[in-house]
Structure 1
């Protein structure tokens, strides 16, 4: 596994700036997830088609960082944990991967933990047997103690993985009946709770980690229908990505603020429609909030593989 930095940057340093948008041309990657890696000053992206993680340069060039292995068919949500030198990646097969098959599609799913410097795998935490039915972990986050939290989308659940790779169910709801879709995006807040968004009805939920059963819906001025991803920004606001992949959502990005500890929130900015189709992931960099549009709409709609995707600043 290779480590890559942008040519204009010293190792571990961020570049002088980033373009407002980055157009990437690479064969059939279709990334649903994105994370900023401050150790390289680079973006990392996942792939609905492959079990890889790739680095993206500001000129749109890519370098594979995590290569394919037999037990990871496709990658989804990503997070970088610099304090522990980890890259966290959801793996799941929604039926669009090059190696999708009856033994993997909506069956094998979990979280892979890699060494951020070397790309070597530390843990592979299979969660398929932990879920309640169809298996599809979608997104993840982590707290200040290194615990990982992952959304179990078909089962409206949240799972917890401790720093040693041991998993347990944090909370579950009733199984979500198609065509409804449960929790997708999730983020940890340093005040001790998670925020997670449902894709189907756009509800945002606050989950106290000291009492997950006390989960409550956040009162919003506008539902986040089509909710796909969340990110905590430096000023305490939250960026929320929505799309039209399943159900009546809109391709857009909202910025929310709260004055009561995220028991309620209001929209202070909304870009709709988003300039690029089907945004799915969001990450915060020193140069602004960036959203990935990996063209999953082409796969979901049966239009075939596409060789382009974009990163765009909010």
Structure 2
């Protein structure tokens, strides 16, 4: 009978342990909340967002100033670059981090001469010396049309910059020498959607894929393009649903393309190297906060920038608070929860098998004692 009591106690204790484990795994699935970073900087109105994995902070530019700011996970702001050598009417639009060559790349926008953009490169290490400033100008563009917009970089240090007015892509090598990579006719085959905010904004967000091509979003058509990074040949990516005014884009390590717009963040994947793409989820965003950029932070977390850009463009506000918000795919979160429950199920099955074996052992022991 003593052995029976021990077995009863052991089984009861095991059930309590399994229940505790179940509760432990269930809590993170249902209770964790997205990371929100609020930060302050007077009249900043950042248009682009990047993440520096080496320094472990976010980097934002400004619609109104030639400044690059570092934003910590806690919202602490530090100025990395304040380039006073640029004209007073200059600002930084697209930004990216070249982690292999310790550089920060920023697209320079001149409000007094929008068609004359530039790409500036700065050392990512203090004191953040400027390495080069390369003028990016398309003679065919209207003098009042905004040109250079977003930027990405490959492993060799070549930067690729979109021109939203002329639908072209520049390539700027590591030394700052610029050339036109692509001015494909494919970019102009689709008529622009009539829209007050985006009708004049063509090629916009751009991301480099390690397989040797670029993915590019076109705001005024909703199209995505795959562009060869050497030849500049381009083709439209077929999607299962339309995108509305896509802006910034980013690639996650698992190959998922993240496309942000004012109203939504799209999650897109491809099984054929981007001949086709599937929008498998979309998450609603706060349209008043006007998201314009998306990046991938630590642990592959996805973040969008709420820069309130429309207020900055209209010039009718003096806002000093902005935010960086973690955004999750509901479909992916549901899938993660399923895997947790599957693991718990295997644990319960193992426990039941063990319990059955112990019961058989107990029965055999009783027979021998009798």
What interval of TM-score do these two structures reach, taking the shorter chain for normalisation?
Answer: 0.7 to 0.9
Q: Indicate the residue corresponding to 2:206 in structure 1.
A: 186
How many Å separate the matches in 2 of 1:74 and 1:162?
22
8 A Cα contact 1:253 1:274, kept in partner: no
Q: Indicate the residue corresponding to 1:308 in structure 2.
A: 321
Q: Indicate the residue corresponding to 2:149 in structure 1.
A: 138
Q: Indicate the residue corresponding to 2:94 in structure 1.
A: 77
Structure 2, unaligned runs of 5 or more = 1-32, 328-370
How many Å separate the matches in 2 of 1:38 and 1:180?
34
- 1:240 is aligned, of 259, 262, 265, to 259
Matched, 1:163 2:174: yes
Q: Indicate the residue corresponding to 1:21 in structure 2.
A: 36
How many Å separate the matches in 2 of 1:126 and 1:88?
13
Match of 1:259, SS state, is coil
Q: Indicate the residue corresponding to 1:117 in structure 2.
A: 125
How many Å separate the matches in 2 of 1:132 and 1:107?
7
Q: After TM superposition, list the pairs within 5 Å mapping 1:123-272 onto structure 2.
A: 123-128=132-137, 132-133=141-142, 134-172=145-183, 179-213=199-233, 215-243=234-262, 251-272=263-284
How many Å separate the matches in 2 of 1:203 and 1:218?
7
Shift of 1:253: 0.6
> What TM-score do the two structures reach when normalised by structure 2?
0.71
Residues 40 and 209 of structure 1: CA distance in aligned 2, closer, same or farther (over 3 Å): closer
Shift of 1:281: 1.0
Q: Which moved more, 1:274-283 or 1:168-177?
A: 168-177
How many Å separate the matches in 2 of 1:217 and 1:284?
24
Residues 276 and 286 of structure 1: CA distance in aligned 2, closer, same or farther (over 3 Å): farther
Greater CA radius of gyration, 1 or 2?
Answer: 2
Q: Between Structure 1 and Structure 2, which shows a larger proportion of strand residues?
A: 1
How many Å separate the matches in 2 of 1:254 and 1:271?
7
Shift of 1:180: 3.3
Matched, 1:40 2:40: no
Q: Which moved more, 1:78-87 or 1:62-71?
A: 62-71
Match of 2:174, SS state, is coil
- Report how many residues are paired: 280
Q: Indicate the residue corresponding to 2:114 in structure 1.
A: 106
- 1:67 is aligned, of 76, 82, 86, to 82
8 A Cα contact 1:159 1:171, kept in partner: yes
Matched, 1:297 2:307: no
8 A Cα contact 1:201 1:223, kept in partner: no
8 A Cα contact 1:130 1:168, kept in partner: no
8 A Cα contact 1:155 1:173, kept in partner: no
How many Å separate the matches in 1 of 2:34 and 2:240?
32
Match of 1:74, SS state, is strand
Q: RMSD value over aligned CA atoms?
A: 2.2
How many Å separate the matches in 2 of 1:85 and 1:38?
11
Q: Between Structure 1 and Structure 2, which shows a larger proportion of helix residues?
A: 2
8 A Cα contact 2:116 2:136, kept in partner: yes
How many Å separate the matches in 2 of 1:114 and 1:296?
24
Residues 269 and 126 of structure 1: CA distance in aligned 2, closer, same or farther (over 3 Å): same
Deviations 1:19-71 (A, max 9, x none): 71111122111111111112221111100010000011223221111013232
Deviations 1:270-291 (A, max 9, x none): 1123476210111111230111
Q: Which moved more, 1:82-91 or 1:55-64?
A: 55-64
8 A Cα contact 2:152 2:208, kept in partner: yes
> What TM-score do the two structures reach when normalised by structure 1?
0.83
